[in-house]
């Protein structure tokens, strides 16, 4: 069975939803994972933020605007009166629920439930549409099988066991429709897989059922060799290895959620990135095949902070790096890049939540400097040492950009370069010009 995930833009209007239906109605059994209609999750975040601040009027305004949009989409989506009525009732239920928080208590638990409404609505709307089209479709409720553990990591065993149960309970179905993004946590509460997490849902489901293929349908024809939001004339890459795709997703290629490649890689399940607007384009096939001797793509990861710890006396003493790492570990803050020299060590992090405490603790071991507003540029490809000349090309392209850190050799697929955020566009464009 294949798993097909459609992102926000792909289900962003009644017309788009109809186009998705054309793509999934073909008599083959499949699981369809849907995101919320585009813009919805952002609006839900906005609503939650207003509720936190007890600004009920602000929340109501966003709720009403969103509700109005949904009634219009329902009108445009269904032809039969019965289904229009069902659609209206659906929207009414979900929006009454959202409105209830402008009167009742609001806490972090309710916030997660609010964020879940987008995917709950889009899947129900799609299911009704397929019913109107006389298809054998049904909902697989993600909250019945998708689960994260105490460390907020997916609970693979639980997911495998429970998705099989819910599938077995509905054998006579061609098109199973399920919610991306949403899950339950270790306490059984509604939670989510972080923003953009529907891709992760699809690959977790694919791995759990040992799918024949995972398809990620979006608004572009596959992974491009540079970020199309910053560089003109980027090109779609026809084949990527799991490792290359994982590096690109982790380092900012928004088309894939950072963690979504791993479950597919572990299960050796091919992932295809496809374009809903151009369904016959080849897109990108991600598999275990690594193409040799090429620089594949460039991506950039934002909001990076660099921390330099200088300590002439202690640095190369053994145990020093362990103490430094332990400080980051104690604040559950992962390190992205690391470089060392005789007198200091520099690391980068992408999460400043505990920056002040980390810096205070690090001061025990030397002087500490912090640089905010940095980004990591990541160049991905077959970059093993024997392919000499590639590093030269990369740095030649970057000659006018101040480089603060370089990391190479951590894997055979990646060179990471830390630069000022202000230089992002210039750097991405210079790399495209010299590398592709
Ligand atoms: P969806 O809503 O379908 O999940 P996303 O907006 O999350 O879609 O991802 C698709 C977008 O990712 C594209 O529209 C594109 O602007 C952006 N993007 C960033 N980097 C890349 C890249 N290297 N290749 C393709 N798309 C990219
Ligand atoms: N709807 C969620 C978001 O906007 C999940 C997703 O689209 O992948 O973040
Ligand atoms: Mg996405």
pLDDT tens digits, 282-308: 999 999 999 998 999 999 999 999 999
Q: What is the pLDDT of residue 209?
A: 98
CA 196 / ligand 3 centre spacing (Å): 4
> pLDDT tens digit string along 384-406?
878 788 888 999 999 999 999 99
State if pTM tops 0.85: yes
Using pLDDT thresholds of 50, 70 and 90, give the confidence band for residue 316. Answer: low
Question: Hey, which residues does 271 pair with through a beta bridge?
Answer: 214, 286
Of 372, 353, 369, 354, which is closest to residue 305 (Cα–Cα)? Answer: 372
CA 368 / ligand 1 centre spacing (Å): 37
Q: What is the pLDDT of residue 319?
A: 79
Atom from ligand 2 closest to the CA of residue 200? 8
CA 259 / ligand 2 centre spacing (Å): 14
Fold of 2-219: Carbamate kinase (3.40.1160)
- Judge whether 436 and 235 are in contact, CB under 8 Å: yes
Mean pLDDT of the chain: 95
Closest ligand to the CA of 41? 2
Q: What is the pLDDT of residue 91?
A: 98
Give the residue-averaged pLDDT of 175-180. Answer: 98
Question: Hey, which residues does 218 pair with through a beta bridge?
Answer: 275
Query: Is the pLDDT reported for residue 314 higher than 60?
Result: no
Within 260-356, strands assigned E span 271-275, 284-287, 295-310, 338-340, 344-349
Which residues lie near ion ligand 3 (Cβ < 5 Å)? 7, 196
Ligand 2, CB cutoff 6 Å, lining residues: 7-8, 35-36, 41, 118, 180-181, 195-198
3-state secondary structure of 40: helix
Using pLDDT thresholds of 50, 70 and 90, give the confidence band for residue 318. Answer: confident
Q: Which residues in the chain are classed under CATH 3.30.2130.10? A: 296-435
Rounded CA-CA distance 116/24 in Å is: 24
Question: Hey, which residues does 214 pair with through a beta bridge?
Answer: 3, 271
Fold of 296-435: VC0802-like (3.30.2130)
Using pLDDT thresholds of 50, 70 and 90, give the confidence band for residue 247. Answer: very high
Beta carbons within 10 angstroms of residue 273's beta carbon: 26
Q: What is the pLDDT of residue 312?
A: 63
Query: Is the pLDDT reported for residue 317 higher than 80?
Result: no
CA 399 distance to own-chain centroid: 32
DSSP symbols for 107-136: -HHHHHHHHHHHHHHHHHHHHHHHHHTT--
Q: Take residue 325 and report the two structure tokens written for it.
A: 């790492």
Using pLDDT thresholds of 50, 70 and 90, give the confidence band for residue 313. Answer: low
Q: Which residues in the chain are classed under CATH 3.40.1160.10? A: 2-219
Using pLDDT thresholds of 50, 70 and 90, give the confidence band for residue 220. Answer: very high
Letter string b/e over residues 284-301, b meaning 16 or more CB atoms within 10 A of that residue's CB? bbbbeebeeebbbbbbbb
Q: What is the pLDDT of residue 106?
A: 81
């Amino acid at each position: 069975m294949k798993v097909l995930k459609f992102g926000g833009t792909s289900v962003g209007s009644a017309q788009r939803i109809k186009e998705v239906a054309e793509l999934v109605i073909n008599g083959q059994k499949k699981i369809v994972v849907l995101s919320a209609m585009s813009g919805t999750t952002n609006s839900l975040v906005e609503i939650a933020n207003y509720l936190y601040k007890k600004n009920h009027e602000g929340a109501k305004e966003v709720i009403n605007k969103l509700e109005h949009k949904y009634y219009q989409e329902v009108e445009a989506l269904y032809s039969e009166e019965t289904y229009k009525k069902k659609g209206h009732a659906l929207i009414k239920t979900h929006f009454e629920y959202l409105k209830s928080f402008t009167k009742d208590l609001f806490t972090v638990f309710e916030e997660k439930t609010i964020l879940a409404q987008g995917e709950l609505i889009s899947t129900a709307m799609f299911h009704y549409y397929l019913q109107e089209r006389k298809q054998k479709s049904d909902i697989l409720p993600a909250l019945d099988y998708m689960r994260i553990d105490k460390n907020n990591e997916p609970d693979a065993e639980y997911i495998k066991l429970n998705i099989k149960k819910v599938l077995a309970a509905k054998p006579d179905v061609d098109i199973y429709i399920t919610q991306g993004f949403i899950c339950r946590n270790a306490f059984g509460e509604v939670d989510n897989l972080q923003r953009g997490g529907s891709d992760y849902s699809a690959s977790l489901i694919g791995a759990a059922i040992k799918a024949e293929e995972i398809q990620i349908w979006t608004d572009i024809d596959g992974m491009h060799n540079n970020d199309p939001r910053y560089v003109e004339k980027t090109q779609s890459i026809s084949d990527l290895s799991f490792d290359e795709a994982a590096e690109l997703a982790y380092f900012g290629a928004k088309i894939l959620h950072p963690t979504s490649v791993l479950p597919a890689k572990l299960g050796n399940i091919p992932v295809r990135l496809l374009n809903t607007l151009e369904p016959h384009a080849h897109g990108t096939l991600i598999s275990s095949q690594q193409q040799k001797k090429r620089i594949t793509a460039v991506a950039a990861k934002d909001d990076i902070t660099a921390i330099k710890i200088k300590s002439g006396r202690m640095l190369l003493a053994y145990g020093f790096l362990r103490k430094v790492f332990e400080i980051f570990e104690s604040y559950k803050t992962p390190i992205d890049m690391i470089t060392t020299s005789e007198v200091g060590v520099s690391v980068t992090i992408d999460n400043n939540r505990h920056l002040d405490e980390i810096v205070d603790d690090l001061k025990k071991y030397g002087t500490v400097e912090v640089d905010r507003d940095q980004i990591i540029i990541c160049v991905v490809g077959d970059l093993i040492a024997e392919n000499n000349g590639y590093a030269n090309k990369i740095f030649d392209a970057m000659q006018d950009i101040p480089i603060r850190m370089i990391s190479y050799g951590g894997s055979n697929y990646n060179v990471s370069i830390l630069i000022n955020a202000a230089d992002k566009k210039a750097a991405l464009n210079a790399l495209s010009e010299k590398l592709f």
